Amino acid sequence: QLEVTVCGPVQKSGPEEGMVMDFGKLSDLVKREIIEMWDHTYLNDVVSFTPTAENLANEILRRLQEKGLSVQRIELWETKKSRAIV
């Protein structure tokens, strides 16, 4: 499971009025940039680092920030009881 927390000002007008970011757009971006690239893959073959939950969470943070998102927190669960937060 992956949780992405973004922060920023609440939009005062336009199609995203009352939102920091449209959750549909956030979901689509995360799916395209993270999930589709890593889901059902052997992570050792697709990343250049040891794929611990902590390292993966840091990489997710970096990739989303490169896309211009103001990410406050990434939570990546390994199991129902174990997660990494960056």
C-beta separation of 38 from 30 below 8 A:
no
pLDDT at residue 30, as a whole number? 98
Q: Which domain holds residue 29?
A: 2-85
The number of folded domains in the chain is: 1
Give residue 85's identity as a one-letter amino acid code: I
pLDDT at residue 11, as a whole number? 94
pLDDT at residue 25, as a whole number? 95
Q: Where are the beta strands (DSSP E) in the chain?
A: 2-6, 71-77, 83-85
pLDDT at residue 7, as a whole number? 96
Alpha carbon distance 50, 56 (integer Å): 9
Joined together, the tokens standing for residue 49 give 């680092």
Per-residue pLDDT of the chain (86 residues; tens, 9 = 90+): 999 999 999 999 999 999 999 999 999 999 999 999 999 999 999 999 999 999 999 999 999 999 999 999 999 999 999 999 99
